[in-house]
């Protein structure tokens, strides 16, 4: 299956991502999946990112700069040229945590542009936001 990643940020139905896109990405891309379904504040997103990145105890993400640094480290240490950052259940952030969603996407796009502009070991970084409802086709 060809996954339609034509833009830097792609919106997708979570079920389509889980059933079709994730299996297509797994053999070739470095996947970073962060679940936003239970996020009620930035600290929840940081905790979910800490778990998703399998950071050691004592290395918890506590602020946005740490969020960016840890994602950067994860991407820079992968041997894969294609990276997909997936924020699952992003729709949960639309009701009351829009600022967290916007800040997360800002971090993701900063990272994507940073890796694209590197002269040594550039990587193609794509961002997928999944959810349910009319905003997530």
* CATH of span 9-131: 3.30.370.10
Q: If pLDDT is split at 50, 70 and 90, which confidence band does 2 have?
A: low
Q: If pLDDT is split at 50, 70 and 90, which confidence band does 12 have?
A: very high
Alpha carbon distance 27, 49 (integer Å): 22
pTM: 0.92
Q: How high is the pLDDT of residue 65?
A: 96
Percentage of the chain exceeding pLDDT 70: 97
Helix 64-76 to helix 98-116 angle (10° resolution) is 40
- Average pLDDT over the chain, rounded to whole? 92
Alpha carbon distance 34, 130 (integer Å): 10
Q: What is the DSSP letter of 14?
A: H
The CB-side HSE value for 131 (13 A sphere, CA atoms) comes to 18
Q: If pLDDT is split at 50, 70 and 90, which confidence band does 4 have?
A: confident
Query: 20-79, pLDDT tens digit by residue?
Result: 999 988 888 999 999 999 999 999 999 999 999 999 888 889 999 999 999 999 999 998
Look up tokens 């890796």; give the residue: 115
Alpha carbon distance 127, 13 (integer Å): 14
Give yes or no for residue 97 having a pLDDT over 70.
Answer: yes
- Averaged pLDDT for residues 74-103: 94
Q: Residue 84 contacts by C-beta under 8 Å, 6 or more apart in sequence?
A: 5, 25, 29, 30, 31, 32, 125, 126, 127, 128
Alpha carbon distance 48, 58 (integer Å): 15
């Amino acid at each position: 299956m060809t996954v339609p990643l034509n833009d830097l940020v792609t919106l997708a139905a979570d079920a389509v991502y889980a059933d079709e896109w994730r299996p297509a990405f797994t053999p070739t891309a470095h996947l970073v999946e962060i679940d936003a379904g239970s996020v009620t504040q930035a600290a929840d997103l940081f905790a979910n990112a800490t778990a998703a990145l399998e950071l050691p105890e004592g290395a918890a993400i506590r602020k946005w700069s740490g969020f960016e640094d840890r994602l950067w480290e994860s991407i820079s240490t992968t041997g894969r040229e294609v990276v997909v950052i997936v924020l699952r259940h992003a729709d949960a952030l639309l009701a009351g945590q829009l600022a967290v969603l916007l800040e997360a996407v800002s971090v993701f796009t900063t990272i994507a542009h940073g890796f694209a502009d590197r002269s040594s070991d550039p990587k193609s970084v794509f961002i997928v936001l999944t959810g349910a409802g009319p905003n997530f086709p």
